[in-house]
Amino acid sequence: MSVLVVGSVALDSVETPYGKIDDALGGSATFFSAAASQFTDVNVVAVVGDDFPHEQLDFLKNRKVNFDGLIKKPGKTFRWGGKYHLDMNHRETLFTHLNVFEDFDPELPDHYKETPYLFLANIQPELQLKVLQQMKRPQLVILDTMNFWIEGTPDALRKVLKHVNILIINDSEAKELSGETNIFTGAKKIQEMGPKILVIKKGEHGAVMIDNGEYFFAPAYPVKDLKDPTGAGDTFAGGFVGYLAKSAYVCQKNLRRAIIYGSTLASFCCEKFSLNRLEEINKDDIEKRYLEFLEMMKVE
Amino acid sequence: MSVLVVGSVALDSVETPYGKIDDALGGSATFFSAAASQFTDVNVVAVVGDDFPHEQLDFLKNRKVNFDGLIKKPGKTFRWGGKYHLDMNHRETLFTHLNVFEDFDPELPDHYKETPYLFLANIQPELQLKVLQQMKRPQLVILDTMNFWIEGTPDALRKVLKHVNILIINDSEAKELSGETNIFTGAKKIQEMGPKILVIKKGEHGAVMIDNGEYFFAPAYPVKDLKDPTGAGDTFAGGFVGYLAKSAYVCQKNLRRAIIYGSTLASFCCEKFSLNRLEEINKDDIEKRYLEFLEMMKVE
């Protein structure tokens, strides 16, 4: 199965205790594609300005990521700047310049419309809806969102959620969306909004998947050389959705494996700035770490 | 294998959003014994005052917990009072009256001295040392400690640590003891102090075991009816050490199972006040939840 992703392609300026980059490749659709393309074909819907260095996407094109849906508009590309301190669980946003993203009006190329799996990255719910409406009966819809939309555009978000099968969200966002302090109680309320399967990310504490009454707990991979966590969430989603799309069948067994693949890809993402580590790794690297990961959870 | 525990037998007054108890059975040695005795024989070393309601220990005596080492002294029993708010990860200590515990001088009955497994519950390192010195070559020494001793009596704690095989500690304590902000980096420093195996508890986020370079991650059981978390840490230790003692062989396989048994027992502990739930459960209840627990971690 192939996957369509709508999200951002951006230029990031990031500072961590281990270094600094300016105007490096970033954006949710980019990190997602770099991970998902290890498993399946990816169609990207996004927008960039006329200053965008397209050659930086070459390694993704070589992995059969299709950029026919990447619109080029006059103006500047979306830029984000952030800073991480020693505790890299928290970051400081230094600036967000939406630029050409501000009036992004996603229009899907015809050959994108029958893509079976759809990932709606963390962007305005109105844009997520616009993409949904252009799709011809996607088999599986996965959504990422954040506090900004939960608070700012709750009605539009609720509309999108009705069409979503799997929601990827972090623990504080799950609490905010449900209005509950306990994520397990909150999960029931969110499931009533649409998505039957929740993947709740807990940063360094891993993730929990809630599918009806069934729970699955996964740790986070203990990254030794943490350099820059930017994009780890989108990379997790890319590994998760990519593996699910490859396995082509949504069941607990595949969902659980998908979470470990997602965490595996996210762990690589953090080892270098921007997409530098995601560009390097191959299927063998991923498989080796995936198996190492399982070993850390195994009880005989 | 049987287990010797030195710790407190106390009377707790606890308030949570779900109720309130006064002068109920508590103490680290008590919670530990209630859990460990599901797997093996336990010898208790502790002290109580002449106001202590001994009949409350009857259910433990029926499980072959030996109280020959429970000294009765004139005066009042150790009392602790605490309050939990809605977020039960944090508690407020209302009072700590050491009473007869203040000049507790543990003296082991002769038939205790060859107990093969020794658990040093979270008490003054000087007392832990006194017990260690009276033992005849214990096969395995497991220790629990806390910030209070890490800060207050670091030298005595270091002396004890040299004799410890397995250290059970929470994440903030591991950071404090090692002086490192990352628990994985910190673990190496702690291992140089003595204990080769670390079990680092992360509350609602489960636990991680570090044994040389090998990691094992276990989630916390999602307790639905959380009433009172008092004693959960000692109960975890009881299930962990009790299962290890029963299995009689310290290897990764048994250590991992022991962590899940520890977490299983701890989850029961939180479902009622004091030791009320631990008194009720039987081996079938434990086995059922243990298997349910494994199911939540399994990747096929």
Structural domains in chain B, CATH included, are: 3-295 (3.40.1190.20)
CA dihedral A132, A133, A139, A144 (to 10 degrees): 10
- pLDDT for residue B11: 98
CB atoms B217 and A297 under 8 Å? yes
- Statement: residue B85 has pLDDT above 80: yes
Chain A contact set for B205 (CB, 8 A): 202, 205-206
Chain B contact set for A217 (CB, 8 A): 206, 219, 296-297
What would the mean pLDDT of B102-122 be, rounded to a whole number?
A: 96
Chain B contact set for A86 (CB, 8 A): 181
CB atoms A181 and B208 under 8 Å? no
Contact (CB, 8 A) for A32 and A9: no
Measure CA B129 to chain center. Answer: 17
**Percent of chain A whose predicted confidence (pLDDT) is above 90:** 92
Q: Which residue of A has its CA nearest to B253?
A: A300
Question: Taking phi first (over 0 means left), then psi (-120 to 50 degrees means alpha), and beta for anything else, what does residue B200 get?
Answer: beta
Chain B contact set for A224 (CB, 8 A): 184
State the best of B181, B217, B240 to mutate against chain A, taking most chain A CBs within 10 Å. B217
Which residue from A208, A224, A299 is facing B260, i.e. has the nearest CB? A299
Look up the pTM and report it: 0.93
Chain A contact set for B260 (CB, 8 A): 299
CB atoms B206 and A219 under 8 Å? yes
**A-to-B residue pairs, Cβ atoms closer than 8 angstroms:** 53
> Per residue in A60-98, pLDDT tens?
999 989 999 999 999 999 999 999 988 777 889 999 999
Q: What is the mean pLDDT of chain B?
A: 95
Weakest mean pLDDT among A164-173, A178-187, B12-21, B268-277? A178-187
> Per residue in A32-46, pLDDT tens?
999 999 999 999 999
- pLDDT for residue A56: 96
Q: Which residues of A touch B (CB under 8 A)?
A: 86-87, 181, 184, 202, 205-206, 208, 215-217, 219, 222, 224, 253, 256-257, 260, 294, 296-300
CB atoms B256 and A300 under 8 Å? yes
- pLDDT for residue B88: 79
Weakest mean pLDDT among A45-49, A180-184, B76-80, B276-280? A180-184
Spatial distance between the Cα atoms of B57 and B278, rounded to a whole number of angstroms: 12
Chain A contact set for B87 (CB, 8 A): 181
Residue B230's pLDDT band, with cuts at 50, 70 and 90, is very high
Which residue from A217, A224, A257 is facing B297, i.e. has the nearest CB? A217
> Per residue in A120-155, pLDDT tens?
999 999 999 999 999 999 999 999 999 889 999 999
Question: Cα Rg for chain B, rounded, in angstroms?
Answer: 18
> Per residue in A233-249, pLDDT tens?
999 999 999 999 999 89
CB atoms B205 and A202 under 8 Å? yes
- Statement: residue B225 has pLDDT above 90: no
- Statement: residue A113 has pLDDT above 90: yes
User: Which pairing describes strands B214-218 and B207-211: parallel, antiparallel, or unpaired?
Assistant: antiparallel
What would the mean pLDDT of A274-283 be, rounded to a whole number?
A: 98
Q: How many Cα atoms sit within 13 Å of B74 on the Cβ side?
A: 0
Residue B64's CB is within 10 A of a number of other CB atoms, namely: 12
Weakest mean pLDDT among A180-184, B50-54, B108-112? A180-184
Residue B181's pLDDT band, with cuts at 50, 70 and 90, is confident
- pLDDT for residue A66: 98
- pLDDT for residue A213: 82
Question: Cα Rg for chain A, rounded, in angstroms?
Answer: 18
CB atoms B217 and A219 under 8 Å? yes
Residue A53's pLDDT band, with cuts at 50, 70 and 90, is very high
Q: Which residue of B has its CA nearest to A226?
A: B182
